[in-house]
Structures are given as C-alpha cells and as structure tokens.
C-alpha cells in the first residue's frame, strides 16, 4: 500500500533510502544535521546515520561545494544542500567551471556523482534574494543535469535516480510545495531522469509546466474543462535531460502549446521548449506557442505584489482561453 507523506518528508525518505542502500552516500550542508535542515527536510537523518554521514558545515557555499566535489572525485556520493536556490550564485564558479566540466576536461577519468539540492522558487514572501527560480540559470550550463520534482513520489524516485547518476545533478526542491502531501510507493522507489509525466490527458491544448506550476496548470485545466476546453497537462520534471518525445507526442495530439513558468520571462525554459517545438513539431502546430511567466522583475516580498507576479490559475486560464480564440 502506498504511504501518504509531505513533499518535505519525502526528501528525507528519498535520502534515507539511498543512504541505507549505499554507504558511500553522505550529506553535507548548513544546519542539515542537528537542526534537520532550515526547511526541516533532513529531519531524523542525523539520528539514523550519525555525524560522519550527516555533517553540518560553516556558512560557506564555496566550502560546501568544494568539499562535495572533492568527495565525489575520490569515491563518495555526496549530497550537498545550499538552503535557498539563490545561494548557488555565491559559488557560481564551482558549479559552472569546476563541477560541470570536470568529467569532460579529464576525458572521463574523473566522474562527479554529486547531487546539489536546494529550496527553489517563490510564493512564501521571502523577497527578491530568497525567492528566485534558478532552473534557467542551471539549464544553460553544459555538464549539469537539472531536476524539479512536483510531487512527494517524484521527490523520492528522482532523488534516488539523481544519487545513482554518475554526473552532477542539480535537485531543485520547490519551497512552496514542502507542506503538500501525496502518495509514495512503499519499498524502494527509483525513477528515471529525463522522463516527463502526463498529469492530465486532454485533446484541445498542451500545457507544459514544472514544479509548483504543475499544480497551477492542473487547477487551470480543471476550470477550463467546465467551459468545454480539454487541456493536457505535462509535468516536465527534468529540464536536462529533457523528454522531447513526450513533448512532441502531446503537441501532435493537441496542436496548441502553452508553457507555465515561475521564472522570469527573458530566456526562460519555455523559450527553449518553444524553439524545440518550432523545429521538431512545426507542422503539428495550429497556433503560436504561448508562454505564461513571471515578468522580468525581481520578485517583491509584499503578498499582493508577489501573487500578481507569479503565474496564477486565473492567468493561465485567461491565456489559454485567449489562445484558443
């Protein structure tokens, strides 16, 4: 029987599953041990696996990723937490010029089975420096894999796939989803990177979304169904690798494409998806690709302003309705 747990609890379940299976898996990061993580996503792991495998670090993103990179190069499979996704900018050189390129520049002599996890996205009133959706930054870097789960089951399954992967994986946990609940299969649960999921089948339009926006897309699809508009909602789950086959199959089915992105509009992942669709699926399209995004602004902290900036169910409904004429 499946168990119902929160997205937050699923992080600890996924990590515990892999730590029990493989003694080379270790956790490092700020406040992940004694405090159980700033978002309480690693609660109980110190008690279960001890201080040698669950290690608190100083407040230094460079130190955390430098140690994790060295550990991965010498036989361990580290999972490093940077708290807020915004903080990846503090150690940008390590991520972009070292971790992402080590395997390529050594001709495969060195692999980096390393996971970097952090809380991503807005909606919690943390302001412009603690609310960014950074998947677009990371997607642009060759050598990194980029994963954004939207359900507790995906957190567990994709975490297992990420830990077992031989390449560095950026694992973006959606802060707004930590308290949400869902079913997770009992026993070992392992998913596959680079596989999208059709969360709702439909025939009139395809809505592609990621993370928190998957739930808003589903809410919009429910409202549109009451108007006789049948939308398919595809959860991409992974940007690198990207499941182009599932994208193309949905486009061929509906002929109309919408993306729902929490990140700023300029150079967002939806722009890349639109480019792929235009090249690979042009003759299946019945209308231009439409994007629903956050404006190209720093996210405000005020409740009403942040809510106005991040795509809402109502805005998705309005754009789809307009796009279908």
**Rounded to an integer, what distance in angstroms lies between the CA atom of residue 11 and that of residue 257?**
32
Please give the backbone phi and psi of residue 80, each rounded to the nearest 5 degrees, phi first.
-105, 135
CB atoms within 10 A of CB 89: 14
DSSP structure class, residue 300: P
Question: DSSP letters along 62-112, please?
Answer: HHHHHHHHHHHHTT-EEEEEEEEGGGGGTTHHIIIIIITTHHHHTTTSS--
Residue 40: partners with Cβ closer than 8 Å, 6 or more residues away: 8
Q: State the catalytic residue, choosing from 130, 189, 215, 296.
A: 130
What is the signed CA dihedral for 276, 279, 282, 284, rounded to 10 degrees? -50
305-312 long-range Cβ contacts below 8 angstroms, 24+ apart: 306/122, 306/123, 306/125, 306/131, 309/122, 310/122, 310/123, 310/262, 311/213, 311/216, 311/260, 311/261, 311/262, 312/216
Q: Is 95 left (phi over 0), alpha (psi -120 to 50) or beta?
A: alpha
Q: Does the annotation mark 296 as catalytic?
A: no
Residue 70: partners with Cβ closer than 8 Å, 6 or more residues away: none
Catalytic residues: 130
């Amino acid at each position: 029987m499946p168990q119902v747990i929160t997205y937050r609890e699923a992080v600890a379940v996924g990590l515990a599953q892999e730590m029990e299976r493989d003694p080379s898996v270790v956790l490092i990061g700020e406040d992940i041990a004694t405090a159980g993580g700033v978002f309480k996503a690693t609660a109980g792991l110190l008690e279960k696996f001890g201080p040698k495998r669950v290690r608190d670090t100083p407040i230094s993103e460079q130190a955390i990723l430098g140690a994790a990179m060295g550990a991965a190069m010498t036989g361990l499979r580290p999972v490093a937490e940077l708290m807020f996704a915004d903080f990846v900018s503090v150690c940008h050189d390590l991520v972009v010029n070292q971790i992402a390129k080590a395997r390529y520049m050594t001709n495969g002599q060195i692999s980096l089975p390393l996971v970097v996890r952090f809380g991503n996205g807005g909606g919690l009133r943390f302001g412009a420096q603690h609310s960014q959706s950074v998947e677009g930054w990371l997607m642009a870097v060759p050598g990194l894999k980029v994963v954004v789960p939207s359900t507790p089951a995906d957190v567990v399954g994709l975490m297992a796939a990420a830990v077992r992967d031989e390449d560095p994986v950026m694992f973006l946990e959606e802060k707004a989803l930590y308290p949400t609940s869902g079913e997770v299969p009992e026993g070992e649960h392992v998913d596959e990177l680079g596989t999208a999921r059709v969360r709702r089948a439909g025939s009139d339009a395809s809505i592609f979304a990621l993370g928190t926006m998957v739930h808003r897309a589903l809410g919009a699809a429910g409202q549109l169904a009451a108007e006789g508009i049948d939308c398919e909602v595809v959860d991409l789950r992974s940007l690198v690798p990207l499941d182009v086959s599932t994208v193309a199959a949905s486009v061929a089915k509906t002929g109309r494409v919408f993306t729902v992105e929490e990140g700023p509009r300029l150079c967002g992942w939806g722009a890349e998806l639109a480019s792929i669709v235009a090249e690979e699926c042009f003759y299946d399209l019945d209308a231009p690709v439409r994007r629903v995004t956050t404006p190209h602004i720093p996210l405000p902290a005020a409740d009403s302003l942040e809510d106005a900036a991040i795509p809402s169910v109502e805005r998705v409904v309005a754009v789809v309705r307009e796009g279908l004429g």
